[in-house]
Amino acid sequence: MDSRIWQHPIIDFGERKGREIYFNFNGKPIKAYEGETIAAALYASGVRVFGRSIRFQRPRGWFCAIGKCSSCLMKVDGIPNVRTCITLVKDGMNVEYQDPRPNLPEKTEFECEHVKVETDIAVIGGGPAGLSAILSLNELGVDSLIIDENPWLGGQLIKQTHKFFGSKASYAGIRGIKIAEILLGELRKENVKSLENSSVIACYREGKGFKITAVKGHSTLYEIDAKGLLVATGAMENMLAFPNNDLPGVCGAGGVQTLMNVYGVKPGENALMVGAGNVGLIVAYQLAQAGVNVKMIVEAAPKIGGYLVHAAKVRRMGIPILTRHSIKAAIGKDHVEGAVITKLDENWNPIEGTEFEVEVDLICLAVGLTPSTEILMQIGCEHAYVPELGGHVAIHDKFLKTTLDNVYLAGDVSGIEEASTAMMEGKIAAATAAIDMGVNVEKAENLRKKSLHELELLRSSPFSKRVITGKEKVYSLMEEISCG
């Protein structure tokens, strides 16, 4: 079985694929292409169960695809607990299922390179916010470095095949994947320092600055001394509570997007989308583009949450959108075989007797995101729970300063929004950092003023009301704190 996509209306996967290679999975050779992650190559060859849960040994499958959910841990070349979704496959690699509580690794030889790096501003996270921040920092002449744990920079941009809305300054009318190409092209042209495939594992306050440690593979430890931090770590997809929600085949919508749009693997034959916000609508459309039969989109709210343009596109393809409906359970043993859908009443409770089953092998969850705020919490930034922004966020002001000196944030980590606003926030945070450091202050102030204005325009649609309410809450908390 090979579920790689070779024909696609937007992406030429044939051109993108690297050299054909072979690796061993539980002792059997499996074909892969250079540039694929282990998990993507396994999925393409029909593997759906990636691991087992610690307590009840329940099967675990593909879920987030960006190294956040731990569903795909396997033993790779003798080392347990490797996140196969962000580890690139190599020729001759030995990949095995692992016991949820693995044995001590037999391997004792260990070569580790310890690299020390100094920089003024370390940008953590290479999505739209981080990329736009590092480019602005570079333009302003601030010595900076960008770190990302995925094999490629670009964050969610590299999987967004749809065209963006918004203003010219925020790349309206251009597909996300193209925006990523533009930003990454600039990055390479400018020789910006970047550490890819490197996970930041800790942040320490040292003296007036920070020490960040990052690891690349199992072989390199980066010790980064920075005067300031710009955190753009994005978000993590939400889970929804229903029986069997951990079955392989229940995936985050973003995880599915990564599988099909980055690695060119068809995620399933028949799909159910849960959630009709923008993410749910867009991913349903992209699933259809990839040849998946999307049976329906269910939305618990009485109204479609996303843009009507996206909803209309989906409907034109014949995909029904059922509002006031939700998933009641997933059906299946080792993998999703179906779902039970139920109608909801005005109080969001299931109405008995309205249940029906759909036969699907893929259930996509597009039920919101939660800011990935771990690093900001660890370093000691004060946080608040702001439901309008998606959960706990570091308290910040409109210039994207946190409660700690020289720590800034941008993008979804500051509140769930969109790639276009994230890019604008990246510019604002970068300008603020430059101003605080006294580098190119006049130019930075101009950039900040312009970007704040652009951000305001991006947020002028009624869809942004909720975010604006959340942001105002956070700004006033920041004011309270800075006034003592």
Partner 1 sequence: MIKEKAEVVIVGGGIVGCSIAYNLAIRGVDVVLFERSYLASGATGRCGGGIRQQWSTEENIRLAMESVKIFEGLEEELDYHIEYYQGGYLVLAHTEDEVKQFKKNVSLQRKLGLNVRFLEADEINDIVPHLDVEAIGAIGATWCPTDGHANPFKTTIAYARAAEKHGAHIYKFTEVKGIKVEKGEIKEVITDKGKTKTKIVVNAAGAYSREIAKMVGVELPNKPYRHEILATEPLKHVLDPMVISFHDNVYFRQTEHGEVVGGWGDPNEPSSYNIESSFHFIVQMSRLLSRYVPKFRHVNIVRQWAGLYDVTPDARPILGPVEEVEGFIQANGFSGHGFMVAPMVAKLIAELIVEGKTSLPIESLNLKRFREGRVIKEASVVG
Q: Which residues bind partner 1 (CB under 8 A)?
A: 54, 78-81, 99, 101-108, 110, 201-202, 204-206, 211, 213, 218, 223
Q: What is the DSSP letter of 465?
A: H
Q: What is the DSSP letter of 127?
A: S
To partner 1, the closest distance from the beta carbon of 404 in angstroms equals 13
Of 473, 463, 471, 405, the C-alpha closest to 437 is 405
Phi/psi at 218 (5° precision): -110, 20
Task: Give first-to-last CA distance, the chain, whole Å.
Answer: 63
Tell me whether residue 202 or residue 457 sits nearer to partner 1 (CB atom): 202
To partner 1, the closest distance from the beta carbon of 95 in angstroms equals 15
Tell me whether residue 1 or residue 104 sits nearer to partner 1 (CB atom): 104
Phi/psi at 55 (5° precision): -85, -50
H/E stretch holding 474 reads helix 465-482
Tell me whether residue 172 or residue 377 sits nearer to partner 1 (CB atom): 377
Q: Count the helix, strand and coil residues of the chain and give each as a percent rounded to the nearest 5.
A: 30, 30, 40
Tell me whether residue 215 or residue 240 sits nearer to partner 1 (CB atom): 215
To partner 1, the closest distance from the beta carbon of 347 in angstroms equals 33
To partner 1, the closest distance from the beta carbon of 50 in angstroms equals 17
To partner 1, the closest distance from the beta carbon of 103 in angstroms equals 5
Of 262, 270, 249, 259, the C-alpha closest to 39 is 259
Apex 83 CA angle, 82 and 84, nearest 5: 95
Rounded Cα gap, residues 402 and 409, in angstroms: 7
To partner 1, the closest distance from the beta carbon of 271 in angstroms equals 33
To partner 1, the closest distance from the beta carbon of 214 in angstroms equals 12
Tell me whether residue 211 or residue 313 sits nearer to partner 1 (CB atom): 211
Tell me whether residue 24 or residue 213 sits nearer to partner 1 (CB atom): 213
Tell me whether residue 223 or residue 479 sits nearer to partner 1 (CB atom): 223
Tell me whether residue 100 or residue 350 sits nearer to partner 1 (CB atom): 100
To partner 1, the closest distance from the beta carbon of 384 in angstroms equals 17
Tell me whether residue 79 or residue 288 sits nearer to partner 1 (CB atom): 79
To partner 1, the closest distance from the beta carbon of 104 in angstroms equals 4
H/E stretch holding 272 reads strand 270-274
H/E stretch holding 390 reads none
Rounded Cα gap, residues 22 and 54, in angstroms: 30
CB-based contacts of 456: which residues, under 8 Å, 6+ apart?
none
H/E stretch holding 451 reads helix 441-458
- Contact assessment for residue 59 and residue 131, using Cβ atoms and an 8 Å cutoff: no
DSSP states of 325-364 as a string?
Answer: EEEEEEEESSSEEEEEEEEB-TTSPBPTT--EEE--SEEE
